[in-house]
Structure 1
Amino acid sequence: MDATELQFRSALQDYEAKNYKKAIQTVDKILKKNPLHSQSYALKALITGFYHPNSPDNTDANELCNVNEDILKECDDLIEQAVKYGPSNSISAHLSALFYRQVKNYERAAHFYSTAYANNPNNKAILRDLSSCLSQMKNYKLLSKTRLDYLTAEPGYRANYSSTAIAYDLNDEYENSIKIIEQIEELVKDKLIDEDKHENSESLIYKMELYFKNGDYEVAVKEIESLLKSTEKFRCYDVSGLLELKYKALMKLENFKEAHIVIRKLLKRNPDNIIYYSNLVKCLGIEENVELKKKLFVKLATFYPKSDLPKFLPLTFLNGEDFKEHLTYYLTSLFKRGVPSLFSSIKSLYKDSKKSKIILEVAETLESMEKDITVSSWIKYFISQHYYKLKEYNDSMKKVDEAISISPDCIEFLMFKARILKHQKKLIDAANQMNDARLKDLQDRFINTKTVKYKLRADEIDEALKLAGLFTKNEDGDTPLKDLHVVQACWIISEYAEALDRAFRSKLLHFQDIEAKQLQLVDEENTHLLKKQIESYFGLALQRYLSIFKIYAEYYDDQFDFHFYAFRKGNLRAYNEMIDWASKLYQQPFIGRIYNDLMDLVFFSVEERKLLTDALDYSTTLNKRSKKDKKEEIKWKEEMLKIHKVYEKDTFGESLVQQVMKKDYSKIESIEKVVSHNKPETVQFLNGSFNYEMLQGKYVVALAQLRKMKEIAKQESETGERAQRTADNMVAKLNKFLETPTDDAKIESLKKIVKLGLMRL
């Protein structure tokens, strides 16, 4: 072994021991003597991904550094050199793969793992890492082959069989998956120990799921019956799971008699599962027979007296006097018990306007007959919720005030009053009312979070964050924000971002008033501070919106370790559920809301570019500040740092503001790339997409989003009304584009297409 190889091994050992500074010094020595040594280029790239000598983050020689774009570019260049001087070198390819896996570029990592394995097929561990990358990429076709190759190389571990079976399952090769599971069963027969109980149980029920997916319903039923009868020590312990699968298979086979028996067993095990009741009705074939359903639920109510569902569900199909009679019976007992969630239970009945009238009639009758004032207060609370549901807020307020007059310390009543005030657009009063409720129980986290939310909605940002800090660690000072980001409390970060967004627009509007009206008191206005506030609120709003997407990216990346770990624990069904969850992660309504907010904010900055440019121009006010203005500005900045600081760098998001003002939408584009995959066609996602396409100058594509919004607007519902308002706003934005003068022939052609499209709506 020559000196270069000895030095390289030494550098590799230092890297593995996290002595990054020493390792990079050794690599530099190698490259100085031998500039064609490909492994050293790859190792240097990998080390640089952890430690960079010129990074200001590195206060410690072995401290991890943040891989920014400049460092990433440097590492990419080093890996290009490694490929150039050793295109078939398995070591440099493996090191390159490790780097790209570290920076979460799984496609490039998979490429280099494949290269490394092709040139060193004896290193089977590469296949395991390649499989994890392919799983993260959702490349299931290649994954099934790779998992099988690794299983062939390492047949002594049950986890390898499980992972191969899952790979076939994900690639819709159910028969191959079943064969692998059967191989496991044959291999572990008579060799199981107590620690294998859970894993073996999961494997057995997973096999039943595979039969069901493959359409082998008769086989599934037969196998499940055998498992249910089994008294063996290593049987399937998830009896409910087996019964549910058996029911589904029997329904597919149209064996309703047997399915009825199965669903009865499930109800006996869990009478609080609403799906079981609907399945029972379906098995009996009495969906349209009201009388038989009524008799059925009377019996079920006697069988399961502690369950609320058999008593409630008749309300969903009864009508007229039958409905009124049963509702009276249902409400009476719950009013006497003072159940706060009663109205939530029957809220679904309000889809029928006739039933909503009967509900009020029954409640008022019970109220007039009730002599116990405590029970009466709960009835008044219920009636208040009824009026609230119908958006009759004045009547709702009247009834909840009556309830509060009887029970002034009931937190539920006080909270509901705050909710009514919120819908009356009295946001400050609502926040104060919610705070009054909070003061009744200072140990209650839920009421504290509700108060924080209401304070943020009322734009009382500083007060809201102080209240949030009552239940956070606050190790880095008075602000709870760092801790809230660490625990990934997306609900408060989103509300906080929206409050900052509103504050930015409000301050910008105030600046516009000063500029437009040339107020006589302008000299008394600290305009320089106002400009600082505009920039800070804009930057912080952008920063907080982006931080939510950063958190969701972490959620998505958290899958990676489970592509290996889940099979060691035998959690096959849980792994499949995780894959399904991850595929829908960016389709959640919450993400749609934040996506829409972010795109709307950036588009607003484009629409108001001239005004915003003036507001961010400090040259006109910098030298006009008085001593009082400067002191006021210093005090404001100290308060902002004290409460709003999360990141050491770019504390107020100034760099984000500069990027947006320079029309650098790279961060926005990366978010669009993630969200655009299987994007749901909801009001918020469509509006966010519309604003993004407008930002990109893709007006015809934006027009297509408008057409989809118009389709939703045809619905006779609250969603339809919201879609219509959003569509009107979209049309206004497109009309503004049409009215903007231009000398560009291409833009003029686009205008003609857009104008024609608007006429055809």
Structure 2
Amino acid sequence: MPPSNPLPPKENALFKRILRCYEHKQYKNGLKFAKQILSNPKFAEHGETLAMKGLTLNCLGRKDEAYEYVRRGLRNDLKSPVCWHVYGLLQRSDKKYDEAIKCYRNALKWEKENIQILRDLSLLQIQMRDLEGYKDTRYQLFMLRPTQRASWIGFAMSYHLLGDYEMANSILDAFRTNQMKGPYDYEHSELLLYQNMVLAESGQYERALQHLQKFQSQILDKLSIKETSGEYYLKLKRFKEAEAVYEDLLKRNPENVMYYQKLIEAKQLSDPDEKVAFFDVYKKEFPRAIAPRRLQLTEAPAAVFTRLVDEYLRHGLHKGIPPLFVDLRSLYADQSKADTIEKLVLQYVENLSKLGTFSSDPSEPKQPASALLWAYYYAAQHFDYKKDTDRALHYIDAAIEHTPTLIELFIVKGRIYKHAGDPVSAYQWLEEAQAMDTADRYVNSKCARYMLRAEHVKRAEDMCAKFTREGVPATENLNEMQCMWFQTEAAAAYQRLHQWGEALKKAHEVDRHFSEIMEDQFDFHSYCMRKMTLRSYVGLLRLEDVLRSHPFYFRCARVAIQVYLRLYAQPLQDVQQTTEPDTENLAPSELKKLRNKQRKAKRKAEQESALAAQVQVKREQHHKARQQQEQGDPEAPQLDELIPDKLARAEDPLEQAIKFLQPLRTLAADRIDTHLMAFEIYFRKEKPLLMLQSLKRAWRLDNTHHHLHDCLVRFRCWLDDAGDSLNASVAAVIAAETSQMFAGRSAVQMAEEFLAGPARKSQEGALWGARALRRLVPARTQEALRLATDLDSTQPTIQGCVEVLESLKDGDFGPCEKETEEYILACRAKFPYAIAFKPPAPAPADVPAPAQDAALQPKEIANNN
């Protein structure tokens, strides 16, 4: 279609040069040519030239001017596909994909067969998962360019993603027979494997197997052929063929655990003795392989387990394999196997320390001196796992005395203290380990994590700074590298320190990382189609669809939601201006101390200000360098700076919490915490149907959960208070849907039945039930208090005791100072190493402790695992 407002030949030639300059990233030349056209009074308002000038300005970072010119050009020529296309490119650069799609559709109204617009539209549609629209666009591209490979592949993939496997396979077949000619290369091989994946996903395993066998000479990935055909044989219950395939695969890689499991399935072995005999065969065939020896221990019955694990432990201790305990830890689920291992390890320690051998047999050869060291090391981890802190420390101290230069010993000692409830001693031992090898990034990161668990955030940042870019603060560099383990731990640490703004800042940073990862997939839509990495591309799309189900997002979302709920209940007060202290009545010595303190505070403020200025300069330089490097892609939108104080003073904390909750309700619906957090938000917003929905989903997952019980009781009380004010239709729905959950019981009856049931035997259940009882019947406070603080009827943990202690201090059971002190003493006797139950250490009088390193409160060490 010709332009709606055509230019004369001279100006048209200049316009084409603008397009060429944009394609070659010569933006300044493009602006010069645009100026030549627009300086002519006849064409000063030429829409397409204005639009291209705006697009060029956008590439130079002048976004406001860019939008002004593009919108002006669009107003002057609403029928121009170029103007609409450019406006769509601008919207796409700002990640406003829905708006960009609208612009492209408007452009196609005036030029239906524009290849470039159709391609751009298809990229946005797959990015937004508009699969029906993507199919239609790919069909148009296919009809316009039937000889191009990308047209066929994109068209087939659109049907595959929609689940129409037969149509996708037909298109791929037609493409392969009509378009693909030899020689057969990697891309052709990948196409065949992708077609095979389509057949398998349609459930036609016989057909997929035949396809694989037919084209195996043209497929270069021979390992994939064998693994895939083995899977198909198992699906089709052709066990003999599957057996042959996996036996051949084991010869290629005898350490692959999956091959052994598949071979057992192919041989249809179910009896433990048969499985033990099966692994014996492969132990002889592959004498140096570890996998058959380790897998055999899982299946071995008690009669042969002692002999097998004895061999395995002796081999590991003789060789000095540090992760031996981690390797065997899964066996501890069987108590008899754990007892056997403990007996053997203690026997090794005794004999090695006295005789230098594993047993008392005089004919046994002497073991190297390191065998005793690794036996101590294993014993320490074993008793730490059993929560026997004293014995664990005894063995790790013996190991350190034996070889005081082994870093792993100090790491394990720190871990023992962490599990015992002393995060401060834990990170101090990790710090000592890090000092022994300052070039080890793993130990550095481990030490930083332990510091964050102990709320020493500044020290953790300094520790990480040893491996981050010089001249840039560690937090900036870690954020740039999307180091989410640090940010999630820091968010939890700030939450425990009641630094709400900083906690929210870290949570928002993690949330932005996930948004960036989702936006980064945009570059792969055309790349993967071009490079034919189609199986990986489909895997990428499916990963992105569930990206926010990742544990990192769940943790940061939980912190953010908990903080926003707390800020809703107790909003931050405006900070009062500090007044100048009265110095007239101070003694000279006190006045001197005050002046010194003021000078230190002033000096610190100046240093922080200078550092902030340096950070800003570095950040600007970095953004500028990255923009120059990318040269040509429209500048990404500048995100608002995350200011902790502003985040902590959000006007609508519940709405902010819902933003973090929404992805979890879709992608983490199998976790009960998701629905309990949803109830807490909607309970405060007084949305009865959404409360009901959250409770129903949680009930389906675990109807005995202690927090769910509390939510049900509160919902029942809320309904009783609402009474007739509730809409009749809403009340009818709630009555019908809660009939099973409430079972005609009042809130008090529900609380009493919960405490009479098995939930009372767990510490968490007793606490939640006692709190509900006390809230409903204040006269029974003493009974509720006894239930919550009972350490004999439950199996208490440090975490559980800390929660009870916090509940006592928060006044959930009224004034109970005496009971609180008694409870602290009882917990101290049960967990002597846990600092939550120790008196806070006095800070030095002349050195004010920084906020991050303040004396730890019980709540601050609640999460030590």
Shorter-chain TM band:
0.7 to 0.9
Q: CA deviation at 1:735?
A: 9.9
Q: Which residue of 2 aligns with 1:472?
A: 468
Q: Does 1:500 align with 2:500?
A: no
Specify which of 562, 576, 580 is matched with residue 618 of structure 1.
576
Q: Does 1:202 align with 2:200?
A: no
CA distance in 1, matches of 2:384, 2:694: 34
What is the 5 A alignment of 1:344-359? 344-359=326-341
> Quick one: distance in 1 between partners of 2:120 and 2:512?
25
Amino acid at match of 1:279: K
Letter in 2 for 1:308: I
DSSP 3-state at the match of 2:300: coil
Task: State the alpha-carbon separation in 2 of the partners of residues 21 and 310 from structure 1.
Answer: 67
Shift of 1:189: 4.5
Going from structure 1 to structure 2, the CA distance change for 1:152 and 1:394 (only over 3 Å counts) comes to farther
Contact 1:8–1:30 (Cα < 8 Å) also in 2: no
Provide, for residues 209-248 of structure 1, a one-character-per-residue CA deviation record: whole Å limited to 9, x for no partner.
22212233222222323344x3xxxx21212211122122
CA distance in 1, matches of 2:495, 2:56: 40
**5+ long unaligned stretches in structure 2:** 1-5, 357-366, 584-593, 620-639, 752-865
Question: 2:310·2:344 contact (CA, 8 Å) conserved in 1?
Answer: yes
- Which secondary structure state, in structure 2, belongs to the residue aligned with residue 474 of structure 1? coil
2: CA distance between counterparts of 1:587 and 1:364? 43
1:681 partner amino acid: D
> Residue 558 of structure 1: SS of its match in structure 2?
helix
Deviation at 1:35, TM superposition (A): 11
How much has 1:264 moved relative to structure 2?
A: 1.3
CA distance in 2, matches of 1:736, 1:401: 55
Aligned to 2:61: 63
Contact 2:273 2:301 in 1 (8 A): no
SS, match of residue 667 in structure 2:
coil
Query: Which residue identity is paired with 1:341?
Result: P
The 5-angstrom pairing of residues 698-737 of structure 1 reads 698=687, 701-702=690-691, 704-706=693-695, 708-709=697-698, 724=706, 726-727=707-708
Following superposition, the deviation at residue 445 of structure 1 comes to 0.5
Structure 1 residues 625 and 335: CA distance shift in structure 2, 3 A: farther
Q: Tell me: CA distance 1:224–1:29, structure 2 relative to 1, closer, same or farther (3 Å).
A: closer
Preserved CA contact (<8 Å) 1:159 1:568: yes
In the alignment, does 2:621 pair up with 1:663? no
Q: CA deviation at 1:449?
A: 0.6
Tell me what 2:342 maps to.
360
Of 634, 640, 652 in structure 1, the residue corresponding to residue 602 of structure 2 is 634
Return the alpha-carbon distance in structure 1 between the equivalents of residues 188 and 20 of structure 2: 40
Provide Cα deviations, 1:123-160, integer angstroms capped at 9, x if missing partner: 11212111111111112222223223213322333233
Q: Using a 3 Å threshold, how does the CA distance of structure 1 residues 184 and 746 change in structure 2: closer, same or farther?
A: same
Q: Could you tell which deviates more after superposition, 695-704 or 80-89?
A: 80-89
Could you tell me how far apart the structure 2 residues matched to 1:600 and 1:300 are? Answer: 53
* Aligned counterpart in structure 2 of residue 382 of structure 1, from 378, 381, 384: 378
- Mapping of 1:224-235 within 5 angstroms? 224-228=212-216, 230=217, 235=218
CA–CA separation in structure 2 for the residues paired with 1:362 and 1:569: 56
Q: 1:175 aligns with which of 166, 169, 173?
A: 166
Shift of 1:374: 2.0
- Partner of 1:439, secondary structure, is helix
Match of 1:219 among 207, 211, 215: 207
Is 1:488 the counterpart of 2:482 in the alignment?
Answer: yes
Evaluate the alpha carbon distance shift between residue 308 and residue 447 of structure 1 in structure 2; reply closer, same or farther with a 3 A threshold: same
Work out which of the two has the higher radius of gyration on C-alpha atoms and give 1 or 2: 2
Q: 1:91 corresponds to which residue?
A: 82
Please tell me the root mean square deviation across aligned C-alpha atoms, in Å: 4.1
| Cα distance in 1 between the residues matched to 2:535 and 2:291 | 29
Deviates more, 1:216-225 or 1:596-605: 216-225
Instruction: Name the residue aligned to 2:760.
Output: none
Tell me by how many angstroms 1:665 deviates.
Answer: 6.2
Per-residue CA deviations over 1:175-204 (Å, capped at 9, x if unaligned) read 222223223322454443xxx722112112
* Counterpart Cα distance in 2 of 1:396 and 1:28: 82
Alignment partner of 1:321 is 2:303:
yes
Deviation at 1:334, TM superposition (A): 1.1
Q: Distance in 2 between matches of 1:650 and 1:639?
A: 21
1:587 is displaced (CA, Å) by 0.4
Go from structure 1 to structure 2 and tell me whether the alpha carbon gap of 1:397 and 1:686 turns closer, same or farther (over 3 Å shift). Answer: farther
The 5 A counterparts of 1:439-450 are 439-450=435-446
What is the CA deviation profile of residues 565-588 of structure 1, one whole-angstrom value per residue up to 9, with x for unaligned ones?
A: 111111111101111211121001
SS of the equivalent of 2:112 reads coil
Find the aligned partners of 1:133 and 1:704 in 2 and give their Cα distance: 34
**Is residue 168–residue 176 contact of structure 1 (8 Å, CA) maintained in 2?**
yes
Say whether 1:654 aligns with 2:610. no
For 1:661-697, what per-residue CA distance to the aligned partner results, in whole angstroms no more than 9, with x for missing partners? x226665554444444333332553454344435644
1:435 paired to 2:435? no
SS of the residue 1:443 aligns to: coil
Alignment of 1:169-568 (within 5 A): 169-192=160-183, 197-228=185-216, 230=217, 235-287=218-270, 289-370=271-352, 371=356, 372=367, 373-476=369-472, 479-503=473-497, 505=498, 537-568=499-530
8 A Cα contact 1:160 1:567, kept in partner = no
SS at match of 1:160: helix
- Residue 819 of structure 2 corresponds to none
Kindly tell me: are residues 389 and 705 of structure 1, through their superposed partners in 2, closer, same or farther at Cα, counting changes over 3 Å? Answer: farther
1:11 deviates by: 7.5
Change (3 A) 1:705 1:369: farther
Deviation per CA, 1:29-62: give whole Å up to 9, x if none.
Answer: 79999999765786687567x38xxxxxxxxxx3
Aligned to 2:533: 571
Q: CA deviation at 1:293?
A: 1.5
Q: For residue 375 of structure 1, what is the amino acid of its counterpart?
A: A
Q: 1:32 to 1:379 in 2, by over 3 A?
A: farther
Instruction: Please tell me whether residue 591 in structure 1 is matched to residue 553 in structure 2.
Output: yes
Counterpart for residue 517 of structure 1: none
| CA gap 1:728/1:461 in 2 versus in 1, 3 angstroms | farther
- Structure 1 pair 335–220 and aligned structure 2 pair: CA distance change class (3 A): same
Provide the identity percentage.
23
List per-residue Cα deviations over 1:152-177 (Å, max 9, x = no partner).
Answer: 32233323333332222111122222
Matched residue SS, 2:276: helix
Q: Which runs of 5+ in 1 are unaligned?
A: 52-61, 66-70, 506-536, 716-722
* 2:544 aligned to which of 575, 582, 604: 582
**SS of aligned partner of 1:166:** helix
What is the CA–CA distance in structure 1 between the aligned matches of 2:200 and 2:723, rounded to whole Å? 63
Q: Check 1:695–1:487 CA distance in 2 against 1; reply closer, same or farther (3 A cut).
A: farther
Query: TM-score normalised to the size of structure 2?
Result: 0.71
Of the structure 1 ranges 380-389 and 365-374, higher mean CA displacement relative to structure 2 is found in: 365-374
Aligned counterparts of 1:186 and 1:552: Cα–Cα separation in 2: 41
Matches within 5 A, 1:46-195: 50=58, 62-63=60-61, 88-192=79-183
8 Å CA contact 1:319–1:355 kept in 2: the answer is no
State the match for 1:68 in structure 2. Answer: none
Judge which range, 436-445 or 154-163, deviates more. 154-163
Q: How big is the shift at 1:656?
A: 2.4
- Bigger mean CA offset, 442-451 vs 204-213: 204-213
Return the letter of the residue paired with 1:400: I
* Counterpart Cα distance in 1 of 2:655 and 2:34: 35
Higher normalized contact order (CA 8 Å, seq sep 6+, divided by chain length): 2
2:46–2:73 CA contact under 8 A, matched in 1: yes
What is residue 669 of structure 2 aligned with on the other side? 680
Which residue is equivalent to 2:569? 607
Aligned-partner SS, 2:436: coil
Question: Tell me, what secondary structure is at the counterpart of 2:541?
Answer: helix
Give TM-score scaled by structure 1 length: 0.79
CA contact (8 A) 1:27 1:44 kept: no
